[in-house]
Structure 1
């Protein structure tokens, strides 16, 4: 199985402590201007930064819900990828979203946390916060670990 290009970028950022720098990962990671802002291996918590710009606006002038969903899905997957070997793929098998406020173009933080980490399944939760700390959306996911 081919390694996810994000895996190396995530590991490099965490191991070098280079937080706040855009990741040089896969296409979605690049498109969303993704960075790792913090990682705590003991709690399984990863904070990811995203730049959600005007390219993602819908006709109402807000960032499309699918883009917000992609950012939170990616943050949760990154929290799992930070913990698994390179040859382990992470596949989202269930994803639940709740939107609380409109997402306007700007910089955001996603705080993702491993709720339970097993041999084949990982359960995660994440919240998206704007630059003022306002809670924009919440997600939960189930991720299958494919070896």
Structure 2
């Protein structure tokens, strides 16, 4: 990451990046990802690393459902976005973070209150932008609920 402007004074690290990268590097499984409010709100958990992909579990709380018991699309999109971000963060060097700059989500079927599994991977890591993909499954039936692709900016942390 030396090509980034030397005018930036980097913070030590993004705590979420450090936590996820350490869990991935050490091969930990079933790690609660309660290091930030967005992840904690969805009871996120790093289930496992499958090659270059991460598998995360999310729980859609009752508060995320519509009147018919279906989980809102925004909640499903958040799960996919978070899964891709965690996959990118696991690859970044200390002192850097990422920020979603585009997100395309395709809903396949309705998701019900409960547990979901997201399988996310990185397609390309550039100097300033990274491209990722994810698929969200119903944890009970293994049905595909939605899939997504995103572009994420690589951002140096500033003091």
TM-score, normalization: structure 2?
Answer: 0.84
2:134 aligns with 126
Structure 2 runs not aligned, ≥5 long: 1-9
Tell me: higher relative CO, structure 1 or 2? Use CA pairs within 8 A at least 6 residues apart.
2
TM-score in terms of structure 1 length: 0.90
Q: CA deviation at 1:88?
A: 0.7
Matches within 5 A, 1:63-82: 63-82=71-90
Aligned residue pairs total 145
Pair 1:145 & 2:145 matched: no
**Other-structure match for 1:5:** 15
Corresponding residue number in structure 1 for 2:24: 14
Deviation at 1:13, TM superposition (A): 2.0
After the TM superposition, which parts of structure 1 deviate over 3 Å for at least 4 consecutive aligned residues? 1-5
Give the RMSD, CA atoms, in angstroms. 1.6
Task: Name which one, 1 or 2, has greater alpha-carbon Rg.
Answer: 2
CA offset digits 1:46-81 (Å, max 9, x no partner): 111111121211223211111111110000011100
